[in-house]
Chain A
Amino acid sequence: MPIFDQGYQHWTGHLSGHAWRWLAITRHGVRVGMQGRVFRTVLLASLLPAAALAFALCLWGLVERNSDFVAPIVQFLISSRLLNPAVVADPRHYRVEIWTLCYNLFLSSELTLSMILIVLVGPDLISQDLRFNALPLYLSRPLRRIDYLVGKLGVIAAFLGLVTIVPCLLAYALGLLFSLDLTILRDTYRLLLASIAYGLVIIFSAGTLILALSSLSRNSRYVALFWLGIWIVSGIVATVLQSVDQVQRRQASFNRAMASPSASPTPQTLPERRRPRRGGTVTHRWSSEDFEAEEIEAAKTNWRPLVSYTANLSRVGRQLLGTDACWRTLSELEPAYGRKRYLHQYTGPQYPWYWSAGVLAGIFGLSACILSFSVRSLDRLR
């Protein structure tokens, strides 16, 4: 074997310090992740909502400047009932609301796409190292366990940051440029910070969770299935629980209305149902307006969305962005009789946001424990 053809030369270069050693793992993970064609396609598709966000903010900048260029588009949005004419009449007054709702819509769609990105790149991160017994190669080098884990988390952070935080920053800059109004900074800097904070919540929560799952198995497919279970199945279970609860409440509300003859109909009463009672002709009224009021009240203590992982992320995100407050402001533009319906339609679960924050903190803690246990137990040479 010609092993000495080249010869061995001593190396006299410089070794960097320990502080950024995790970055090597992140760089490597990003390189490996980008090798997948499917992943690259999904990553590219994940940038489409970002383009839509940038377009929306630029459009609003032009609306604020009364640009004729966007008049047809605005007219179309008004005629489609996507935009209230009162908002267009004073666009600067509703700037925060419009920007907030755009960011909320963008981050909601990116939340779903992030889950897909994670299922494509996350399961391999630790499970493949376990499968190919790579941990001794890492830990026999000047790396601590925390460097290894931070490096792996950095891979998730790089991809999710690219589709959440980076677009928020770029769209903000574009919106600023198109509005040519520096007061926008004063009005919306909180929104920018909130969107970054929400992006970080998604990254840290989902990142640690997928790493923990990845450290539980040497088979990436099982990890991916587990992740899909947490994401989709928990969402389905939460939806079913909510539906059952809603049906029960609707039935209870209806039964109450049947049990007591109603007062005279109010002007707000919209649909009504008449059901002849057996052996009588007494008319009972059951107002959907009343039911919606009950729904809004019940939503304040409805814990069922907590079962869904993404619903928890979404609840924290809406709180950070202040989405519900914006909907309430916009609901003021609706006729009085339709406000509750409007709010019921557009606002999400109203239970205290810290319930969801608590659930996410619990999942984070559990993930950290699993990672600590799994990687520590492999901190050995076999």
Chain B
Amino acid sequence: MHSSQSRSSGLPASPMLFQFEEVTKSYGAVVALDNLSVAVPSGAVGLLGPNGSGKTTMIRALLGLTRVDRGSGQVLGMDFRSRQLDIRRLVGFVPEDECLFPRVVGVEFVAYAGELVGMSSKDSLQRAHEVLDYVGLGEARYRKVESYSSGMKQRLKLASAIIHDPELLILDEPTNGMDPAGREDILELARDLARNKGMSLLFSSHLLPDVEAVCDQVVVLGGGKLLTAGNIQHLKHLHNRCFEVRLKADAAPFAERLSALGCTAEIRDDSLLVQIPEGRSQQLLWEVAAEQRLQIRNLRPQRSTLEEVFLKALEQA
């Protein structure tokens, strides 16, 4: 995504989007981040974790809104403890809560957000029109923001976060409380920004399908600690001996025969989940199907869902 220079900072591109080294942050007796070390590469990154896992504290630390007790780290190649303002120039943030600059129309809202980052009035106004068109609020740009619907407000916040073309966009629960159409709009925009516009994303959500729809990488936190992190496709690893089989006919006799041969066969909605014993290959499935004169319509190795990855990480913690 970044070649040799980062897009707007002109700084040498960091291979890592951000990295924490033994970061600890406590609020009284509650440890929000517990000796957290993580390095996240550029791209679309999902931030997962149950309530109280430290996601929000992590975002606060990234933006320099909270001082960590211990540890160090970098965001876009800059020390997050000493260069908060420089970091925030390169980061766009969409908060979870409904938050507005009151008594302005849409285009003024976004232009004001640009001015706060340091854009000139003229640039920010011109750019505000562009990004409002992009997020689909072109028709509503002269309406008071207080009259916007929840979905529109969310897109407005997104527009105000990307007005200065940030290198990293942080979305905190962006689809919370939205109707399916509005949710799909936000996901579509986030996907487009990450995949087609070269913007890195930190997508904090507890809706796993949303994270899966947008992100390539995932960081799972629990109790302030890193539970797992990595490429989603890699985490959803293949199960070597477990297959998902779809048959044209009834699966029950097929399952019985496989069980007799030492396999574990479980009938699901419209498929069969088969675990083959040690020393046998998937050829066994073809042989049994031929023996019973059944037609296999679909055969593929089983892959963990993100939900399974998430739950497994929590269990291990």
Contacts and interface: CB of A to CB of B under 8 A. Distances in A.
Interface of A: 1-18, 21, 24-25, 27-28, 32, 35, 124, 128-129, 131-144, 379-382
Given A7-B134, A11-B8, 16 more contacts: A3-B134, A3-B192, A6-B134, A8-B131, A8-B197, A18-B85, A27-B115, A28-B101, A128-B103, A129-B102, A132-B102, A135-B99, A141-B117, A142-B89, A143-B85, A381-B96
Given A11-B127, A132-B100, A132-B101, A142 B7 contact: no
Contact of B118 (A4, A16, A134): A16
Contact of B113 (A13, A128, A131, A141): A141
B160 A3 contact: no
A380 B116 contact: no
Nearest to A11: B165
B117 A2 contact: no
Given A3-B134, A3-B136, A28-B115, A137 B120 contact: no
A381 B94 CA distance: 11
A47 B111 CA distance: 31
A124 to B, nearest CB: 8
Contacts of B103: 32, 35, 124, 128
Given A24-B115, A379-B65, A134 B136 contact: no
A144 B185 contact: no
Interface string B168-203: 000010000000010001001100110011100000
Nearest to A135: B99
A32 B135 CA distance: 25
Contacts of B235: none
A204 B148 CA distance: 37
Contacts of B101: 28, 129, 132, 134, 137
B69 interface: no
B86 A381 contact: no
A10 B102 contact: no
Interface stretch (B55-63, B70-78, B206-214, B269-277): B55-63
A382 B181 CA distance: 26
Given A3-B134, A128-B102, A134-B102, A11 B164 contact: yes
Contact of A8 (B7, B66, B192): B192
Contact of B172 (A5, A18, A381): A381
A128 B145 CA distance: 14
Contacts of B60: 380-381
Nearest to A12: B8
Contacts of B84: 142
Interface in B275-310: none
Interface of B: 7-8, 56, 59-60, 63, 65-66, 84-86, 88-89, 91, 93, 95-104, 112-113, 115-121, 123, 127, 130-131, 133-136, 138, 146, 157, 160, 162-165, 172, 181, 185, 188-189, 192-193, 196-198
A382 B60 CA distance: 10
A132 B136 contact: no
Contacts of A3: 134-136, 185, 188-189, 192
Contacts of B157: 137
B59 A21 contact: no
A133 B97 contact: yes
16 contacts: A3-B189, A11-B8, A17-B118, A21-B118, A32-B103, A128-B103, A129-B102, A137-B100, A137-B101, A137-B113, A138-B116, A140-B88, A142-B88, A142-B89, A142-B116, A380-B65
A51 B104 CA distance: 33
B119 A13 contact: yes
Q: Which of B95, B104, B157 has the largest number of chain A CB atoms within 10 A? A: B95
B93 to A, nearest CB: 4
B129 to A, nearest CB: 9
B133 A6 contact: yes
Contacts of A21: 116, 118
B175 to A, nearest CB: 15
Given A16-B120, A143-B116, A379-B65, A133 B100 contact: yes
Nearest to B136: A3
Nearest to B115: A24
A135 to B, nearest CB: 8
Contact of A140 (B95, B98, B192, B193): B95
Contacts of A32: 103-104
Contacts of A144: 85
A140 B60 CA distance: 9
A118 B286 CA distance: 84
B102 A131 contact: yes
The 9 closest A-B pairs by CB, nearest first: A15-B118, A6-B133, A24-B115, A11-B165, A133-B99, A140-B93, A142-B88, A142-B85, A3-B136
Contacts of A134: 99-102
A10 B7 contact: yes
Nearest to B112: A28
Q: Which of A5, A24, A139, A144 has the largest number of chain B CB atoms within 10 A? A: A24
B120 to A, nearest CB: 7
A4 B133 CA distance: 8
Given A35-B103, A132-B102, A381 B65 contact: yes
B128 to A, nearest CB: 11
Q: Which of B116, B123, B172 has the largest number of chain A CB atoms within 10 A? A: B116
A125 to B, nearest CB: 11
A189 B88 CA distance: 46
A28 to B, nearest CB: 5
Q: Which of A10, A14, A138, A142 has the largest number of chain B CB atoms within 10 A? A: A142
A67 B186 CA distance: 75
A13 B7 CA distance: 11
A31 B136 CA distance: 26
Q: Which of A5, A11, A132 has the largest number of chain B CB atoms within 10 A? A: A11
A141 to B, nearest CB: 5
A364 B119 CA distance: 33
A24 to B, nearest CB: 4
